[in-house]
Amino acid sequence: MKKIKILYRIIFWSKEKYARKMGMNIGKDCYIETRYISSEPYLITIGNNVQITSDVRFFTHGGDWIFRSKYPHIDTFGKIKVGNNVYIGNCALIMPGVTIGDNVLIGAGAVVTKSIESGKIVGGNPARVLGNVNDLEKKILGFNLKTKKMNYKEKRNFLLSLQEDQFIKK
């Protein structure tokens, strides 16, 4: 019966509702798009206005296995704390003991092995500081196309009508 309940929750509940039910502490106005929340979700605290995208994984424990023959009862854990106004990109991995400050952007695929100061942009494996949020804000405001309230068809037509220099280039 327990497995049926878990399966029901996975299929029919929103990912945020599932994470809360499993014990993750989640603030207000968050968007959670992953179910990979560790076997100890009660060790994870998420602030307000946080977006966690697809396939982000949280780890609250780690490689103790290699010591189990010598120390059969070894088990170590690290809490994860995510501040306010944070974006975590697809497939990022958040390791045990990491604290993520406020106003942080974590790039897709980043492997976060160390805590991140507020206002930083990080990416890579292992994640490293790539810049700061204030500089990014100044840069992207010039590319703001204000399509957020458009429906799919309006947005498509609008974007296809633009000149190349109106899009971000890397």
73 is a catalytic site residue:
no
Backbone angles phi, psi at 119, to 5 degrees: 80, 10
**Which distant-in-sequence residues (6+ apart) come within 8 Å of 105 by Cβ?**
86, 87, 89, 120, 121, 122, 133, 136
Look-up of token digits 């009660």: 42
Largest CA distance in the chain: 66
**Which one of the listed residues 9, 15, 20, 61 is annotated catalytic?**
61
Quote the CA–CA distance of 15 and 42 in Å, as a whole number: 15
- Amino acid found at 129: V
Instruction: Give me the active site residues, please.
Output: 61
